[in-house]
Structure 1
Amino acid sequence: MNDQAENLRRLIEMNDNNKEAKVIAVVSGKGGVGKSNVCLNFAISLSELNKKVAIIDLDIGMGNLDILMGLSPRYHLLDMLENQLSIWDIIEESKVGISYIAGGSGLSKFVQLNDKKRQRFFSQLEQMGHAFDYIFLDMGAGATEESIEFVLAAHEVFIVTTPEPPAITDAYSMLKYIYLQEKEKPLFLIVNRADSEKEGNRTLNNFKHVALQFLDKEIGILGFIPDDATVSKAVKAQTPFVIWSKQAKASMAVSRLASSYLGVDKQSSTKFSQFLFKVKRMMKYE
């Protein structure tokens, strides 16, 4: 086993085995709203608040988390099964304080696993439950038959949109789709690239009002991230913007969002085993 895998394995030995990771799916109704960048920088902000955080890139075929971090993943999720690797072998330990797993090939391949590989998949995945406080699933834009199952299995869902009408319309469609599948799923909204505080708050409040009026669904408001030229510069430098410039408007906003989220989060009420059970049911393993 390499040194990185050994270091990661120690996480599970050092952590509180009574505490189980919360799984958060991060989604958007359409591409181009900055979902992955928001997911990454929010996760880093949580790690800076002394939380152990991992991201699994399930934006299959379009994932760019590795690029945003300047990483070249050695393995992806299916390599664990095809090459008899442990979960610790495929986790990348980034320089920005979080751990990362590349998704690799299509999600449909997980449904097609034989019983032996499914059993190994779950036994390895289970080890992450006690090693991390939060595990983010960076989902692809929109919804597919396979991806929606992972979204529904997560404890919570973050929906990322921008203030533009097409993005808001698609975000609402995504919210409605999730709601019709599981009405009690906790849903939270983040508005990215707001031109002003007024626009950010107006978008958040209007979205919340529409969800309540037409779906009778109360959604959580995480907040907005202002449009900031620093973000583009950080992307070009393959460095998360909260690392690139902590004083940037976008960086300070994400840090506030993460702090506010921890202030209301009921992490102790979640069980990683609940997530595993739902994924097993999805893969027809139970």
Structure 2
Amino acid sequence: MKNDDNDHTLTNRKFYRAEQEAEFSKGVPESTPQTEHPAYRLAFQDQQFLLREELRPVRFQLELLKPEMLLDEAGVGSTLVIYGSARIPSPEQAEQLVAEAEGDAKEIAQSLANKAKYYDEAYKLAKMVSEKSIIEEGKRQFVITSGGGPSIMEAANRGASEAGAESIGLNIVLPHEQAPNAYVTPYLSFQFHYFALRKMHFLLRARAVAVFPGGFGTFDEFFELLTLIQTGKMKPIPIILFGKDFWTRVVDFEAIAAEGTISKSDLDLFTWCETAEEAWCCISEFYELDC
């Protein structure tokens, strides 16, 4: 029944909703110095007020709640998170990247081009998993999730998109220009101010994580995940590490264990992998699914 001034029902709410109050606030009969001043704005509509330093705890809460609520409404049960570089080219772009590089940049461009195969594997993994359309308890499982940017992230969202599935992009505001890739499902494309809350949302629904070669951002996400599981703050999930040649050259995992600063068994927290098929079989084995 409509909730109005003559509503005598017992069960209907008696307070107007925030969106209704916001509409009422537009009906000020005349403009005066009092009504025009920012102090008169409804607090939840006053952006200048919400951006004050003292309101940081409120912004934290909003950034935690918004993606959580929208993902729940979208029927997302669990995710397969794909981490990786924002610089590795697709196979189609690799040759051009090298051709356009000059001087010392040529060698770096070639190194990145040599990793283009990982764009393909990220794409294949996302496409393969999305095509399986696993649904449990009425919710979609292993929904592909990336940082929403280019390169490996684009490959992940692209694979899901070309499988006819939706996928999530968790983008971050940066000082330089940053925009979500074209394959992220628009209503599952989120933008974050806080790195900490973005990383939390990567893992809240994660049931498996595939980590491809990457830079500081990938290292940060990967090692935080390892730390959470190693310390028991998070239950174990499959962590698939693509590119053994890359990782063992830039991080000496065995040496860290030999130094005694981690246990030898901590090296079992992740699994080496080179192909999408291997990765899915590892995930399937963990969850007792059909590989």
Which TM-score applies when normalising by structure 2? 0.37
